[in-house]
Amino acid sequence: MAQFEDRHWTSADGLQLHFRDYAGDPARPPILCLPGLTRNARDFEDLAAHLAGKWRVICPEMRGRGDSDYAKDPMTYQPLQYLQDIELLLLQEGITRFVSIGTSLGGLLTMLLCMSNPQRIAAAVLNDIGPDISEAGLERIRGYVGQGRNHETWMHAARALQESTGDVYPDWEITDWLRFAKRIMVLGTGGRVAFDYDMKIAEPFDTPAGVTPQVDMWPLYDALATRPLLILRGQNSDILEADIGERMATRPGVELVTIPRIGHAPTLDEPESVAAIERLLDRMA
């Protein structure tokens, strides 16, 4: 497993936010890996290990996730605030051009990063997300985010994830579920295994701004699609519907790859995902 440095940056409201920094070729633009709503830097650990050395890989954790501080005001758990936080990370690191790999919420942030300067994005991956989001998928997410469930052991946690999420990854074995649990959960202070995020991220989620900013995302997508772009879609996704993915893929130079027998979202460990990301990076060489 590639080594990384644990580093931090400071938000405008004084939070210490954490990111993993994997070293790579300074002549190439760094790769910025942006996770989904309830996720953290560990989501990208295999992909980052695969790319590190050739590429610098930066894996930020949004406020309220992983080793980043929890927000004092839970209403700051919304995309435009995350965007402001990421802008400060880019400023701190002196990054003016980068590759963005965004899963779900991270993909929305990738599109939002186009608002001020699309040219700074050297290439991008949108993982199971698009300018239009299925309401059915959002309702499913509302049903579990912020529930605060915890478990006695890691194996109990893995079994619970398999029971609740088995339709998303139907081919996984218990070893896969255990590995997944250790990515998205943490051993809490009471010795229980719990999700690694602030349960209060659910509070703004029922408001429109807590899901996506009240802007038409298609112009932002079109700006992003002027860059080398890969769209990954789980075959059984309830967030990125098939017709939206196909519409996105009509832009010149956009590759759409559907990952079979997967829901929302591909983990980016799948051979099809890794191969597609390598093809995208080769297009930049």
d(CA 200, CA 75): 9
d(CA 237, CA 48): 24
Q: Which domains does the chain have, with CATH numbers?
A: 5-145+212-284 (3.40.50.1820), 147-196 (no CATH)
pLDDT digits over 230-268, tens only?
999 999 999 999 999 999 999 999 999 999 999 999 999
Give the pLDDT score at 244.
Answer: 98
Cβ atoms of 192 and 152 closer than 8 Å = yes
The answer to pTM > 0.85 is yes
Mean pLDDT by 10 residues, the chain (285 residues): 92 98 98 97 98 98 98 96 98 98 97 92 98 91 87 97 96 98 93 96 76 80 96 98 98 96 98 98 86
Give the pLDDT score at 12.
Answer: 98
Counting beta carbons within 10 angstroms of the beta carbon of residue 116, is it exposed (0 to 12), middle (13 to 18) or buried (19 or more)? exposed
Give the pLDDT score at 116.
Answer: 83
Record the tokens describing residue 141, joined without a space. 């997410």
d(CA 44, CA 167): 22
pLDDT digits over 195-221, tens only?
999 999 999 876 655 666 667 899 999
d(CA 160, CA 155): 9
Counting beta carbons within 10 angstroms of the beta carbon of residue 275, is it exposed (0 to 12), middle (13 to 18) or buried (19 or more)? exposed
Give the pLDDT score at 198.
Answer: 97
SS3 238: coil
- CA neighbor of 44 nearest in space, from 133, 131, 106: 106
d(CA 107, CA 112): 9
Report the DSSP pairing between strands 185-187 and 57-60: unpaired
Buried b (16+ CB within 10 A) or exposed e, 216-232: ebeebbebbbebbbbbb
